[in-house]
Chain A
Amino acid sequence: MAEAQNIPVGSTTAGQIAVAAESTVATRMSAPPSFDVADFPVPHGREEEWRFTPLERLRGLHDGTAVANGAGVKVAVGAPEGVTVETVGRDDARLGRAGVPVDRVAAQAYSAFEQAGVVTVPKEMVLTEPIRIAVHGEGGIAYGHQVIELGAFAEAVVVIDHTGDAVLAANVEYILGDGAKLTVVSVQDWDDKAVHVAQHNALVGRDATFKSVVVTFGGDVVRLHPRVSYAGSGGEAELYGLYFTDAGQHQEHRLLVDHNTPHCKSNVAYKGALQGDDAHAVWIGDVLIEAKAEGTDTYEMNRNLVLTDGARVDSVPNLEIETGEIVGAGHASATGRFDDEQLFYLMARGIPEYEARRLVVRGFFAGLVQQIGVADIEERLLAKIEEELEASVA
């Protein structure tokens, strides 16, 4: 009895390392990247990039029936002095430089947005306070576009906070000049009904450092697609993510790091906790090391903690290596279960049930939270995790 257990239950975990002559990451998509929604067929759900997503819950974002109604989201930007905050039209030449939409919804967002936000930190400006972008859902449908650009050697922290209720599809671009340092924290703290689909493109300049922290708690369906490529050698990207998937929620994070330039680094670490019936988390971690990207150093990791029965995790790391001249490449994925035996063990040492769950979940996330480096966000995250746990106990 009471066998030690740490097996994936109610989950699937698959991984593969492919050494390919050509990129199957690219060819796995059902259509080539394009800014025009007309270049993508309406997905039916069996495509590789859509097979985990409940299309019927996207409220029409994927098939053209979701029409922006002007009551979608309100965006408020608070930025320190010296930072330029603009709202620009579709024809602004600064849009679309960091990457091209890779699926139907991203292209829909690009084809449908009316105005874009552009936040620019001039070269060599080092901010001591974060730029804060509040995106508050007003209950309607919206398509958005946001550019955040740092000039050479500029340093900034940007916090993008999503709250309220909305059906939102968006593209976000991060453009880092040479030697720039950008930390972006994107918090998805939506109300229960919100649907949020977004592609994040980061273009990391020579010797620049990009840190992305994606935190997903709320929403009915959240599907994010953070992507990184490099504009020069010496670039570094750290992609961290935390999610807490509750009953009925679908939270999907699909990452791609395209090592298209020699001597760049990337480190991906996503962790999620799940609880409740039909909680569904999807993590796709694609790393592509192109033939020309010699000296690449990359690692990606996904860990999931399943707290109750009825939750499901799909975790798929995928590493494609087209050159052997690299420093390192690795990946890991694991799904563990907090089960009755673990609860019994902790309680048999005097720890009350609620405290036992809290201990496990806090411990699970602690190391990752410390990576964020933005004190008020770290505190808010830990408080939010507690809140999620309390909701589950109640």
Chain B
Amino acid sequence: MATLEIRDLHVTVEADNATKEILKGVDLTVKQGETHAIMGPNGSGKSTLAYSLAGHPKYTITEGTVLLDGEDVLAMSVDERARAGLFLAMQYPVEVPGVSVSNFLRSSATAIRGEAPKLRTWVKEVKETMERLHMDQSFAERNVNEGFSGGEKKRHEILQLELLKPKIAILDETDSGLDVDALRIVSEGVNRVRETGEVGTMLITHYTRILRYIKPDYVHVFSGGRIVESGGAELADKLEDEGYEAYTKGGASA
């Protein structure tokens, strides 16, 4: 069973000619089949955690380890991490000029699966997955994220999640900027992947709204660059009622 183990992770970023520590010792274990909601106020370091795990060059790991099934994730390049089974659904997916969605998906699937998917079954697979996400077929011919609405970008991220079938999926504020219909469609996509039991999910969010559609097994409160409280789904209810104030008071974060 695939397991992601994050131990004492410290991460810095260069900003305004100064080195700032954003993550201050994160400990978390995510197993295949589990869903962990990571919740916290803005600026608490949630997105930094997501992008650090994916290997974004902006972030420097100063301490700690990240293992995926015992393999050292931090020693891997960005593409190696993806091929090892890590997937990051981004909050701000990037426009890639000149590359069509269909070409992108196929290149990605070829890289992740280690061989080009058979064309006939692939076309069907993409078509059906797009239909379930209420995406028009013309989408495949557009350039990646170019001119996509906020909702289209998020659906496109979940389309990739469904097609690439990672071991560990990190969803970075996938719910932000979505209306209720789009949120439901996107959540259904995530749930289809979860129901296979083959993915461990880290659901990073500021709001409890998405947890009505995607039920977490664990809820972690993130503040000041680390996890300050962990519990079950009931912790989300408490956050819904009380907000993050209890965690941000005392200067833990801003």
Binding site for B on A (CB under 8 A): 1-6, 305, 336, 338, 340-342, 344-353, 355, 359-365
Q: With the chains together, A1 CA to B93 CA distance in Å?
A: 11
Residue of B with least CB distance to A4: B95
In the assembled complex, which residues on chain B have CB atoms less than 8 Å from the CB atom of A342?
A: 94-96
A-B contact pairs, 17 of them (CB 8 A): A1-B56, A2-B56, A2-B91, A2-B92, A4-B92, A6-B146, A346-B107, A347-B55, A347-B77, A347-B82, A348-B81, A348-B82, A349-B164, A352-B111, A353-B79, A360-B96, A360-B99
- Write the nearest CB–CB distance from A338 to chain B, whole angstroms: 7
- Is B57 engaged at the interface, CB distance under 8 Å to the other chain? yes
B100→A5 contact, CB < 8 A: no
> Quick one: which of B81, B94, B112, B143 contacts A345, CB cutoff 8 A?
B94
Known: A341-B94, A350-B108. 10 other contacts (CB 8 A): A305-B98, A345-B90, A345-B93, A349-B160, A350-B79, A350-B164, A352-B79, A353-B77, A359-B107, A364-B97
Q: With the chains together, A245 CA to B222 CA distance in Å?
A: 48
Quick one: which of B83, B100, B111 has the most chain A CB within 10 A?
A: B111
A351→B107 contact, CB < 8 A: yes
Q: With the chains together, A2 CA to B55 CA distance in Å?
A: 13
In the assembled complex, which residues on chain A have CB atoms less than 8 Å from the CB atom of B96?
A: 342, 345-346, 360
Q: With the chains together, A353 CA to B55 CA distance in Å?
A: 13
- Write the nearest CB–CB distance from A181 to chain B, whole angstroms: 30
Chain B 141-164 per-residue mask, 1 if CB under 8 angstroms from chain A, else 0: 001111000000000000010001
- Is B213 engaged at the interface, CB distance under 8 Å to the other chain? no
Q: With the chains together, A362 CA to B103 CA distance in Å?
A: 11
Which residues of chain B from 57 to 111 have a CB within 8 Å of any chain A CB? 57-58, 77-79, 81-83, 88, 90-100, 103-104, 107-108, 111
In the assembled complex, which residues on chain A have CB atoms less than 8 Å from the CB atom of B146?
A: 6
Residue of B with least CB distance to A6: B95
- Is B47 engaged at the interface, CB distance under 8 Å to the other chain? yes
Q: With the chains together, A169 CA to B86 CA distance in Å?
A: 56
In the assembled complex, which residues on chain B have CB atoms less than 8 Å from the CB atom of A344?
A: 54, 56-57, 78, 94
In the assembled complex, which residues on chain A have CB atoms less than 8 Å from the CB atom of B51?
A: 1-2
* Total A-B Cβ pairs within 8 A: 103
In the complex, the 9 A-B pairs of residues with the closest C-beta atoms, listed nearest first: A364-B98, A350-B111, A350-B82, A363-B98, A349-B108, A347-B78, A345-B94, A347-B79, A350-B112
In the assembled complex, which residues on chain B have CB atoms less than 8 Å from the CB atom of A361?
A: 98
Q: With the chains together, A3 CA to B93 CA distance in Å?
A: 8
- Write the nearest CB–CB distance from B54 to chain A, whole angstroms: 5
- Write the nearest CB–CB distance from B197 to chain A, whole angstroms: 22
In the assembled complex, which residues on chain B have CB atoms less than 8 Å from the CB atom of A345?
A: 90, 93-94, 96, 144
Q: With the chains together, A363 CA to B105 CA distance in Å?
A: 13
B92→A336 contact, CB < 8 A: no
Which residues of chain B from 198 to 218 have a CB within 8 Å of any chain A CB? none
> Quick one: which of B97, B100, B111 contacts A351, CB cutoff 8 A?
B111
Quick one: which of A350, A352, A363 has the most chain B CB within 10 A?
A: A350
> Quick one: which of B81, B94, B97 contacts A2, CB cutoff 8 A?
B94
B88→A1 contact, CB < 8 A: no
Residue of A with least CB distance to B78: A347
In the assembled complex, which residues on chain B have CB atoms less than 8 Å from the CB atom of A363?
A: 98-100, 103, 143
Residue of A with least CB distance to B98: A364
Known: A1-B51, A340-B57, A353-B79. A348 touches B88 (CB 8 A): yes
In the assembled complex, which residues on chain B have CB atoms less than 8 Å from the CB atom of A355?
A: 107, 111
Q: With the chains together, A352 CA to B77 CA distance in Å?
A: 9
Known: A340-B57, A349-B164. A305 touches B104 (CB 8 A): no
Q: With the chains together, A228 CA to B79 CA distance in Å?
A: 48
In the assembled complex, which residues on chain A have CB atoms less than 8 Å from the CB atom of B91?
A: 2
In the assembled complex, which residues on chain B have CB atoms less than 8 Å from the CB atom of A346?
A: 96, 99, 104, 107-108
A305→B145 contact, CB < 8 A: no
In the assembled complex, which residues on chain A have CB atoms less than 8 Å from the CB atom of B145?
A: 4
Q: With the chains together, A347 CA to B82 CA distance in Å?
A: 8
- Write the nearest CB–CB distance from A197 to chain B, whole angstroms: 30
